Amino acid sequence: MRIWTRSTLASLSLSALVLTGCAAEQLPPVDEVLEVVEEVVEAEVPRHPLTGMELGTASLPGPSMAVKIDNTSSGRPQVGIAAADLAFEELVEGGFTRFLAVFESTIPAEVGPVRSGRPQDAGLVKAFGGVFVFSGVGNANVREIIRGTGLQLVEHDTSGGTPDGAFFFRSDRKPAPWNLHIKAADLMATYSALDAPVQQFDYKTDPAEASAVVSGSAAERITVLFSKGIESIWEWDVATNSYLKFLSDGSQHTDADGTQISASNIVILTPNYADVEGLPSAQISGTIETAYVATGGKIVSGRFDATAYGEPIALIDGDGNPLYLTPGKTFVLLPPGGGSTAGGVTPGVMTYLSGGEAISRNF
């Protein structure tokens, strides 16, 4: 805010006449204008660490729970995933993808199908703290990589005879191995004393101020091609102010309760994949690579900075300034970048519709 002031001498001149009884001297006019500039500092708003929603007077949240979830036709529809505050779609062997879904604001009664962890999960879950639920690992070395995060691990294959084992069960929805589920709400009640996660991304309370809305291009439909033809498809829905997820056959990608998976923000990271313990793994920690952020029906390019292991991934523009998201759920896609060396992995491609025109970006 600018305040303009101009000195006046009328009252001083009147005082001089009273004291001296004579006419006041004629003083030169004051032409100088003093400009006072007050610096406006935007106060930091307390937000939910995973959604960016303003907390107001609400109490600070409890710990988060990350769950590794199947994403094959055999595993769909998943149970509970539509309630996730934040979710990652990552490439695994065979060209398929799996979800790493993170819950905090709502913990479903049941989540599944729970699948095995991968080396790349260690670089993702450490920033959240809390609990990481998975079915098992490919070999003992992968388990040690995940244990290095220091999180509370709840692994089906090692939980027998422990209190955590009681929270796993075989659902009658599907055959094995796509029927392993976790009693999520009951499990988290036993770990409520763990610390809450820290804020993961930067947000603007007004969606109109999100970076993609301010400086991005229209993106009515986004299709990200992973290796082997696996696609992640999202369409902007004005009625719900969110991106809705679809399957390659055009059908809605829904939770088992019929809720279509949706997100206020779609974040596309482009890490390179390398073989780790014989498994294609996204090389995220310690890297800075290209990123895209879509929100409000628009998309903007930038970078992701994950150089600090265990810290939240920073989304930045070309000048290093934050890319701001809209408060709400966020889905993060991890298609392979152009420098990927993992066996059988080919670089991903993104295509988005902008004003009806299809625009492609090779990673």
Per-residue pLDDT at 227:
82
In angstroms, the Cα distances linking 46 to 40, 56, 136, 276 are 19, 7, 36, 39
Mean pLDDT of the chain: 90
209: pLDDT strictly greater than 60: yes
CB atoms within 10 A of CB 65: 27
249: pLDDT strictly greater than 60: yes
Q: For the segment 89-107, what is each residue's pLDDT rounded down to a tens digit?
A: 999 998 899 999 999 999 9
Q: For the segment 181-206, what is each residue's pLDDT rounded down to a tens digit?
A: 999 999 999 999 999 999 999 999 99
* CATH, range 65-362: 3.50.90.10
Cα-trace Rg, the chain: 27
How many whole angstroms separate alpha carbon 270 and alpha carbon 288? 10
- How do strand 357-362 and strand 349-354 relate by DSSP bridges? antiparallel
Q: What band does 18 get if pLDDT is binned at 50, 70 and 90?
A: very low
- Residue 124 has φ and ψ, to the nearest 5°, of -100, -50
Domain spans, the chain:
2-37, 65-362
Distance from the Cα of residue 28 to its chain's centroid: 63
Per-residue pLDDT at 56:
85
